[in-house]
Amino acid sequence: MSDTPVTEDGDPDTTSSTETRWKYIGTVLSAVILLSLATIVVGTSLGVMAVSPIGKMWFTLYAIVVLMAATWAFGEKTLDAVQKARGK
């Protein structure tokens, strides 16, 4: 009998187990996306970086991605708060 524990998906090798590899990927990516927003806001407000005008489609895409990341990190109440803030 092997000392390597069998993961929930039945794979005894933790390096090839999809459960082990993907367990925190959504949380890590959400944190990176939310930190990118904070970096852009703080950096531009302090004058450290300049943001040139971007197209409306790119802004909408970035806003949706940030909203998805916030929803992943903080739960469905994030969507309720956004709808309440928009008056819907």
User: In this predicted structure, what is the pLDDT of residue 35?
Assistant: 94
User: In this predicted structure, what is the pLDDT of residue 88?
Assistant: 75
Residue type, 70: A
Q: Which domain holds residue 44?
A: 26-86
Q: What is the pLDDT of residues 5-28, one digit of tens each?
A: 656 666 665 556 666 667 788 889
Please indicate, yes or no, if residue 45 is contained in any of the structural domains. Answer: yes
Please indicate, yes or no, if residue 14 is contained in any of the structural domains. Answer: no
Query: Residue ranges of the chain with pLDDT lower than 50?
Result: 1
Q: How many domains does the chain have?
A: 1
Please indicate, yes or no, if residue 81 is contained in any of the structural domains. Answer: yes
User: In this predicted structure, what is the pLDDT of residue 15?
Assistant: 59
Q: Is the pTM of this model over 0.95?
A: no
User: In this predicted structure, what is the pLDDT of residue 3?
Assistant: 62
The Cα–Cα gap between 65 and 72 comes to 11
